Structure 1
Amino acid sequence: MGMDDSSSEKSIISLGAWLQSPAGNYVRDWEQARLEELTADIFGFNATQIGLPQIETLRGSRMPHTWLTDTNLPADGHDNEKRPLVVIQEFEELPFETASIDLVLLPHVLEFAEEPHQVLREVERVLIPEGQVIICGFNPWSLWGARQALGRMIDAHFLPEEGEFIGLPRMRDWLKLLNMEVGNGIFGCYAPPFESEQWLKRCAFMESAGANGWPVFGAVYIVQAIKRIKAMRLIGPAWKTKKAPAAAGVPATNKIHRQRVR
């Protein structure tokens, strides 16, 4: 993507600010509702959200230990007892032990990371076997994706310009390369990219119509994947019992046959 660490950090901060806008609230409300449903049925002990604290991805989780992992210090008024924070230098290097976390949430972090593949590799490393990752992303094959592409051409950006939309098929391929079992994904937010809350509400009827008629064209998607460990098979020493050599000049099969007919 060609971004340095500072530009990557600034762009995701800009996305956090955008989430306070009417369009951002629209996306945040849909994602939080879906994530609350998904995480309620995932059991374990340790779960973390990486980045973008404006979206409460673990609001429905029943795990006893949940926290936020972010590159920024908490805002004023942050309740660290209710939502503990781990501050890191970069998303590409997580300060957790290998195979120590049951669930990782990535809300739009990959779209603004300098090395999204490395972020995913780190997530795979820290997940326990059968651990899960849930990713939120903007869909490039939507009206919002088209609006973002047009904004780059005319220098009138709808979302922070540094973000790179990653389509669901591409995201699924990345996860499969890490031996993750990937779900189908769910799409949402079918209203056009309006900046007005009034117009977004007028298009509320498009949610059910889009989900039934053109589901893959939602503005955002959520995809879930499970870390699978291939079954290992113990292989013993390659010891073989030596067979007695066949008589010189007589094939072994012929010798056996002669012994049987005597």
Structure 2
Amino acid sequence: MSIEGFEDWLKTSAGQYVLDWEQQKHDLLVADIFGFNAVQLSLPGHDFLRANRMPLRFRCDDGRYDGVSEVRSDLHFLPFANNSIDLVVMPHTLEFDPNPHQVLREVERVLVPEGHVIVTGFNPFSLWGARRKLSRRQALPPWRGAYLSVPRLKDWFSLLGLEMQAGAFGCYAPAVTQEKWLRRFRFMDTAGDRWWPIAGAVYVVQAIKRQHGMRLITPVWKDRKARAKALVSVAQRERAEDR
């Protein structure tokens, strides 16, 4: 699926409407995820990791996007070691890729156990999804992508050992292009969260890589603290016996 023109669309009123919601949700989600390495796949012109506090944060893309990225790579073969990344964010990465499942497999490979992945996409079961079906095949983005539903994405997660943890839908206004109409339909964002929460135009979901059979090891400092308490108890007992 071609991504050509998607960055330009994000600069339109409708694109900014979607981007503002997604940026806000990413800021909330990534702020409380800790580790050492975080990577954003695609859309390097927008920083979806800006609220995260990991020491190493960088953007990776395959050259299809305009913007500054620290790493250029084929997303089907990421240049990162196994179990080396704590957080991966994927803003509209899968729906515009010809082999999205392979990209997701690579993400699972590079994630550390208990690492996080955040995926953003357009919801096919929405007014925007209906608009896409009515659009011509050669229509410009965002209608050109292959929209993935959340249930389908959840199935892919399950197959790869990723457990969905959180998610949200947003942008309930119809797929209009003019700012004045978007403002008039803004009331639907509040109503949508209450009355039809799964019908938002876009979604963001968070999953964690689970490694079955993994045993958590107690940090060394806790062992030292326990040994120190034991030594104090022994010393106190010996002093009592001497008396």
User: What TM-score do you get using the length of structure 2 for normalisation?
Assistant: 0.83
Contact 1:50 1:107 in 2 (8 A): yes
Q: For 1:161 and 1:212, how far apart are their aligned partners in 2?
A: 27
| Contact residue 68 and residue 86 of structure 1 kept, 8 A | yes
Question: Which residue is equivalent to 1:129?
Answer: 113
Query: 1:116 maps to what in 2?
Result: 100
Unaligned runs of 5+ in 1: 1-7, 79-83, 234-262
Equivalent in 46, 54, 68 of residue 63 of structure 1: 54
Paired residue for 2:77, among 93, 97, 104? 93
Separation in 2, partners of 1:17, 1:232: 45
Within-5 A mapping of 1:144-183: 144-152=128-136, 157=139, 159-183=141-165
| Number of residue equivalences | 215
Q: Is the 8 A contact 2:60 2:70 kept in 1?
A: yes
The percentage of counterpart residues that share the same residue type is: 52
Q: Aligned partners of 1:41, 1:200: CA distance in 2, in Å?
A: 32
Q: What is the root-mean-square deviation in Å for CA atoms of aligned residues? A: 1.9
Q: SS at the partner of 2:120?
A: strand
CA distance in 1, matches of 2:71, 2:174: 36
2:203 counterpart of 1:221: yes
CA–CA separation in structure 1 for the residues paired with 2:65 and 2:122: 25
1:212, distance to aligned residue in structure 2 (A): 0.8
Deviation at 1:211, TM superposition (A): 0.5
1:19-50 alpha-carbon deviations (Å, 9 max, x no partner): 11111100000000010000001011100000
Which segments of structure 1 move beyond 6 Å, counting only runs of 4 or more? none
The code of the aligned residue for 1:19 comes to: L
Report the Cα distance in structure 1 between the residues aligned to 2:66 and 2:205, rounded to whole angstroms.
Answer: 29
Name the SS of the counterpart of 2:198 in structure 1: helix
| Ranges in structure 2 where 5+ consecutive residues have no aligned partner | 216-243
1:55 Cα deviation after fit: 3.4
One-letter amino acid matched to 1:193? A
Taking the TM superposition and a 5 Å limit, the aligned residue runs for 1:1-262 are 8=1, 11-72=2-63, 78=68, 85-88=70-73, 90-152=74-136, 157=139, 159-231=141-213
Aligned with 1:61: secondary structure? coil
CA offsets, 1:229-249, max 9 Å, x none? 00169xxxxxxxxxxxxxxxx
SS of the equivalent of 1:152 reads coil
Aligned 8 A contact 1:182 1:225 in 2: yes
Report the AA paired with residue 41 of structure 2.
I
